[in-house]
Structure 1
Amino acid sequence: MYVVIQKNTRGVLEIEEKALIDLITYLVRTNSKNLDSDDIKVHIFVKHEVVLFVNIELFISNIDEQIQDENNITSVIEEAIVQTLQIKPKNVSYVYTHK
């Protein structure tokens, strides 16, 4: 499945959704302490082909595993997506779910 995002007036940028999910999962895992790839699930929503929403679901066993610096991780994710797709996500949200 491809996420189609309008890049400019000359064409459309297509990117595989799994590649973008893997990129965001990697960024969250490397910038947080106690999480591995199995504890992270990323959801991507595209609206009107130019608005990108990112929802990151984190599976934790206790409240101490909560990410302390969400703002830093959000800025790293936004920077990586801007460099990759040349659009800024409208929203990056976090959901904590008990294992």
Structure 2
Amino acid sequence: MYISIERNNRGALEIEINALNKLIQNTILMRSNSDLKNVGNIEVLTDLYQDNLLYVLIKIDLKDKTELLDETQINKTVEEIIVKTLSIKPKNIAVAYKR
């Protein structure tokens, strides 16, 4: 998969957000050490602001609402893939659970 990454005339990154969201989603599904049998759906939302500030929100739909996933592992995995892909560190990675 190719992700279009460019810098505009102000020096800010311009990337294809849908491709980045799909990359993060697939990375979580492939690399997570957590039990993914409990996961129904994963939705990723990202915002990239002018100063190359990247915010990531991961919405996870759980089948069994009493069991939660290892959020530190998810954060570590997502941060690692973003740094490797974009060479910037995300400002914030949040995990939310849907009901």
Answer whether TM exceeds 0.5 for this pair.
yes
TM-score, normalisation: structure 2:
0.75
How much has 1:34 moved relative to structure 2?
A: 2.2
SS at match of 1:63: coil
* Runs of 4+ deviating beyond 3 Å: 2-7, 11-14, 35-38
Indicate if the aligned counterparts of 1:3 and 1:46 stay in contact, CA closer than 8 A: no
What is the aligned partner in structure 2 of residue 92 from structure 1? 93
SS at match of 1:88: coil
* Separation of aligned partners in 1, 2:21 and 2:67: 22
Higher mean C-alpha deviation, range 78-87 or range 41-50: 41-50
Provide structure 1 residue ranges, at least 5 long, that are not aligned to the other structure.
Answer: none
SS at match of 1:81: helix
Letter paired with 1:94:
V
Provide structure 2 residue ranges, at least 5 long, that are not aligned to the other structure.
Answer: none
How much has 1:27 moved relative to structure 2?
A: 1.6
SS at match of 1:39: strand
What is the aligned partner in structure 1 of residue 24 from structure 2? 24
- Listed one character per residue, the Cα deviations across residues 59-91 of structure 1 (whole Å, up to 9, x for unaligned) are 112224421x21122111111111110100001
Question: Quick check: which one's strand share is greater?
Answer: 1
How much has 1:37 moved relative to structure 2?
A: 8.5
Matched-pair identity in %: 33
Letter paired with 2:81:
A
What is the number of residues matched between the two proteins? 94
Q: CA RMSD in A?
A: 3.0
What is the aligned partner in structure 2 of residue 52 from structure 1? 54
Indicate if the aligned counterparts of 1:41 and 1:56 stay in contact, CA closer than 8 A: yes
